[in-house]
Amino acid sequence: MAAIEEQYDVIVVGGGPAGATVATLVAEAGHNVLLLERSAEPQFKVGESLMPATYWSLKRLGVLERVRATAFPKKWSVQFFNHEGVGSRPFYFHEFSDEESSQTWQVLRSEFDEILLDNAVEKGVAVQRGVSVRRVLFDGERARGARLRRQDGSQLEVGARVVVDATGQSALLARQLGIRDFEPNLRNVSYYTHYEGARLDDGIDAGATLILRTADRQAWFWFIPLPDERASVGVVGPVESLVEGRVGNPQTVFAEELAKCPRLEERLVDARQLTPMKAIRDFSYYARQVAGEGWVLVGDAFGFIDPIYSSGVFLALKSGEMAADAIVEALAADAPTAANLGSFEDELRRGTEALRQLVYAYYDHDFSFARFLERHPEYRRHLIEMLVGNVYRMSFDGFIEALAGERRRSSSPARVSS
């Protein structure tokens, strides 16, 4: 075993929103923090539409001004189109609140992640790019550091009192420990790219996220306006229908699905595809525990439910904040135990569970949000608060119960289909 060559209070593996957040806040509390990011340069990444509730994390991190100064389109709403191309009324985030946090942004992730990492450096984090962590090192049950590999091939072992896994979908530690459970009913795949010159709506709708179901209801597309007349377009659907038994590559499958979505096709008639088609699959899972002796999981490294409501970056930032608070407290008590580091687990799962119920409602073909809101107009507010991301600011118990009741009613054989 190689000797530990450097020692830190905290090592954060991964420089996405979750890693940058936890590293910044722990360094601000006076600890020495090393953040290791595999990519040498900022990269194209999926996850471009923010939820308004990211405002509070961005404010705490002190980067709101920098985000405001970008050319990121302002996002005021989200609109859903059903399989017949009929659009919902847009869900404006300011419908029930005129707080300045009701508007958010559509971001180029290469630029957004860089803002967060630059801020981490300014707050005292030692950030090293082009360094990949191969393995988290343990003494028995206790994490004691990480084995790294630099781009020149050299390997090194570094020690820490706490190791934070923020490696996103790579889920380095959850895979190493075998504690990752996939969502059994969300075995999905996504194909996505950027276009230039897509047709946008006018006024404050120009920056809206659009979610459009395909005519056969097997898949759905996102449409996210980006700076410089770009738009991000992606399709999501079950592996069984978009991969298995399908001839052709991601590009041809994407084109076939787009042909089933005329409301989106018409926006792209004069547009040009800018980037090669990318693919990702089996992205919905959760780790069975969020922390152990000397280790913590944040962001997608802990879990990810589904892209439908654009909750990923919000939960990455939020879990980063929660983890940072737990780590600072545990280090102050000189007790980075599983219980102390994981003290935020119930709170974190309260929000992810509420979002999970909303995700399953969308994928339930018998369920209709329009019908639900007709029967329960009083819950329009709750639905908008969920789309805002206010899952940690209010209770959704009644709403979730009503949603479950509506799903039971819709699936009952007595229902007359509309």
Residues that bind ligand FAD (CB under 6 A): 13-19, 36-39, 45-50, 132-133, 166-170, 172, 190, 234, 280, 283, 299-301, 304, 307, 310, 312-314, 316
- Which residue stretches of 199-300 are H helix? 239-242, 250-258, 262-265
Q: Supply the minimum distance, in Å, between the C-beta of residue 18 and ligand FAD.
A: 3
Which residues partner with 150 through β-bridges? 131
In angstroms, what is the minimal distance from the CB of 133 to ligand FAD?
Answer: 4
3-state SS, residue 324: helix
Sheet-wide strand order for 285-287: 180-182, 285-287, 303-304
Q: How far is the CB of 398 from ligand FAD (least distance, A)?
A: 26
Comparing CB distances to ligand FAD, the nearer of 155 and 411 is 155
CB of 299 to ligand FAD, least distance (A): 2
Give the residue with the Cβ less far from ligand FAD, 90 or 307. Answer: 307
Nearer to ligand FAD, 316 or 330 (CB): 316
Question: CB-wise, 118 or 366, nearer to ligand FAD?
Answer: 118
Q: How far is the CB of 417 from ligand FAD (least distance, A)?
A: 30
Strand partners, 108: none
Q: Specify which residues 231 forms β-bridges with.
A: 195, 225
206 Cβ neighbours under 8 A, 6+ residues apart: 73, 200, 225
Compute the distance between CA of residue 159 and CA of residue 143 in angstroms, rounded to an integer. Answer: 9
Cβ atoms of residues 30 and 295 within 8 Å: no
- Dig out the tokens for 80 from the structure: 């859903």
* Minimum CB distance to ligand FAD smaller for 286 or for 304: 304
Neighbouring CB atoms inside 10 A of 417's CB total 6
Q: Name which of 180 and 372 has its Cβ closer to ligand FAD.
A: 180
Question: From the CB of 340, what's the least distance to ligand FAD, in Å?
Answer: 22
Angle at which helices 312-332 and 345-363 cross, to 10°: 170
